[in-house]
Amino acid sequence: MEDYIQEILISREEIESHVAEIGRQISRDYKDKDPIFIGVLKGCFIFMADLMRHVTVDCSMDFMAVTSYQGTTSTGAVRITKDLSENIENRHIILVEDILDSGVTLNYLKNYLSVRKPASIAVATLMDKPARRKAEIYADYSCFEVPDAFVVGYGLDYNERYRNLPYIGILKPEIYE
Ligand code: IMP
Ligand code: MG
């Protein structure tokens, strides 16, 4: 194990099997619906790539990028830095996130996208950290529920690092100091 990791929370094998299961569920639920996967960059990139390889129905994909600022209020504010290039009117959207934490980002994106009149919007997340939820938002598909710890790997970063780890790990506290 890498020396900056305190504990492997989710192994590569566990990730593989849960992501495959979500892919099968989505394939059943979206038969003949031609869904569009919308990944929220950058954290989604590995999860989305693996997930889509387990989807067996016709589908397409696009990406958005956001930055969240922690404002003076407890909700924070979200700014879109890359918008969609596809038209989503009457499309079935599956928003793909690495982790659902406060829920502020996805709640904002759901509202933002609903204005463009999609047929439906669902949320698929690799991890759900319900302990820190501030916005009323739930995942339709979630691979893992995780405790209130800062996790990295499999796309998730701390200061843009550790995204390349093939597992989900908890960082050693001294890395933050
Ligand atoms: P939310 O708006 O609070 O739900 O923020 C979600 C975003 O915060 C995720 O897409 C991640 O980029 C980031 N994030 C939240 N928790 C973690 C974590 O434990 N590790 C790495 N990034 C995290
Ligand atoms: Mg991030």
| DSSP string computed for 71-87 | -SSTT-EEEEEE--SS-
Q: pTM for the whole thing?
A: 0.94
**Is residue 104 lining ligand 1, measured as CB closer than 6 Å?**
yes
**Is residue 151 lining ligand 1, measured as CB closer than 6 Å?**
yes
**Is residue 138 lining ligand 1, measured as CB closer than 6 Å?**
no
Domains of the chain and any CATH numbers = 12-148 (3.40.50.2020)
128 among known catalytic residues: no
CB atoms inside a 10 Å sphere around CB 65: 14
Q: Mean pLDDT by 10-residue block, N- to C-terminus, for the chain (177 residues)?
A: 93 98 98 98 98 98 87 67 96 98 94 97 98 95 96 95 97 86
Ligand closest to 158 (CA) is: 1
**Bridge partners of 63?**
39
Ligand closest to 162 (CA) is: 1
Which residues are near ligand 2, the ion (C-beta closer than 5 Å)? 43
Question: What does the pLDDT read at residue 73?
Answer: 47
**Is residue 118 lining ligand 1, measured as CB closer than 6 Å?**
no
Question: What does the pLDDT read at residue 177?
Answer: 76
Question: What does the pLDDT read at residue 75?
Answer: 55
**Encoding tokens for residue 117?**
């009149």
Question: What does the pLDDT read at residue 69?
Answer: 65
**Encoding tokens for residue 18?**
């849960």
Pocket test for ligand 1, best of 79, 95, 96, 101 (most atoms within 8 A of CB): 101
Closest-CA residue, ligand 1 atom 13, reads 99
